[in-house]
Amino acid sequence: MIFDEDSPFQVLRQTWQPVALTRDLPAGGVMGYTLLEQELVIARFEDGTLLAADAACPHKGARLSAGRIVDGCLMCPYHGWTFGPTGDCKNIPSLVEPNPQKCALSHLKSYEAQDRYGMVWVKLDPAGDTPLPEVPEFENPAWSYRLGPPMKFAAGFRREVENYLDMTHFAFAHGTTLGKCADPRIPDMTITTHDDGFQMDAPFPALETPHEQPGKLQSAHHRQQRCHLPNFTTIRQTFTDGDERVLVHIPSPNTRESCTVFWSLAISPGFDGPEPDGQIDFAIKVLDEDREMCELQTPREVPVNPTRGGWGVLVAPGDTLANTYQKMFRQWLQKHLDAAAT
């Protein structure tokens, strides 16, 4: 089937997407975020209640993300209109007495929001019923859990997913960091499909006789990459000494050609290697290298429809996971579009 390029965003509205780190939105905090080309205001009231709503004030369209929490309400910076935790208009200062009908018409369009894994998540379409994937290690106090700073990519979210799944770019894109001792040849891999995505198991392609001694994070290990459609991907690394790390990348779509990558890392107890903060610093360098590679590619987003004689024809063995993702993403897309049509 041929998909309209609007289809992915239409269906992604039914999924939970990260919009902020919990630590960056304390009580009384207000911020803006563009999700799926829709401008939002995200606010946390003093009691911890989250509000995610259209950014424009219904009065004159001022961005409420420039507002602040005053006396338990979100106040517009332009004319002082105030809104409660559910988006209900509480007060219009220019009126001597509040007008119930006008206040009712000024109710903000709000969306579901939740905190989990140290991130604030928003779902734009209530029709979606898919919960966030379970990652027990992220909520296990015995593991060291760290959140990385979100990174903006001038590339579409599917570009980032494909990059994160790629097993043959380490020696080139990460030649001075993760791929110092990487083998560019693709390792044997096992791909298992699931109802909500797929899983890949393979060894990290480390050279058997590297010219320099690799550090712990660059050394041979087993990789289990689990893609939960549409864009929640974990990597479990199991090292030869039994130590483990679990990482996640969620490229939250801002526009068709840009995304913000939210990511985190859980480290097993007694990990014999760099301290957690040092691992985050290392991961930031690796992610920035990935950003550069994603932004180098054209078009900025992977086309949702495969084409003959165009981009993506010269397929190599290393493209197995990217092709698996493309195929399963289209199947996932069709499934949700069919459900919406019934």
CATH number for the domain spanning 96: value is 2.102.10.10
**Residue-level pLDDT at 121:** 98
Q: Which two tokens stand for residue 212?
A: 């320099």
Is there a single domain that holds both residue 100 and residue 222? no
pLDDT tens per residue, range 229-246: 999 999 999 998 999 999
Asked whether residue 119 falls in the same domain as residue 166, the answer is no
Q: Over the stretch 254-300, which tens digit does the pLDDT of each residue have?
A: 999 999 999 999 999 999 999 999 999 989 999 999 999 999 999 99
Domain harbouring 331, CATH code: 3.90.380.10
List, for residues 59-109, the tens digit of each pLDDT value.
999 999 999 999 999 999 999 999 999 999 999 999 888 788 999 999 999
Domain shared by 177 and 305, yes or no: yes
Residues 51 and 106 occupy one common structural domain: yes
Q: What pLDDT score was predicted for residue 310?
A: 43
Q: What's the confidence (pLDDT) of residue 306?
A: 73
> Of 66, 95, 123, which marks where a domain is finished?
123
Range of the domain at 163: 136-336
Indicate the pTM of the whole model.
0.92
Per-residue pLDDT at 88 = 96
94, 123, 152: which is the final residue of a domain?
123
- For 214-220, what is the mean pLDDT? 68
Residue 129 domain-assigned (yes or no): no
Which candidate, 284, 206, 278, 274, places its Cα nearest to that of 240?
A: 206
- Mean pLDDT for the stretch of residues 125-130: 89
Q: What is the DSSP string of 30-82?
A: EEEEEETTEEEEEEE-TTS-EEEEESB-TTT--BGGG-EEETTEEEPTTT--E
157 and 289 together in one domain: yes
**What is the number of structural domains in the chain?**
2
Q: What is the pLDDT of residue 309?
A: 42
Query: d(Cα 69, Cα 257) in Å, to the nearest integer?
Result: 33
Question: Residue 21: what residue type?
Answer: L
Q: What is the DSSP letter of 135?
A: -
- Which pLDDT score, from 0 to 100, does residue 96 have? 80
101/164 same-domain check: no
The half-sphere exposure of 280 on its side-chain side, counting CA atoms within 13 A, is: 15
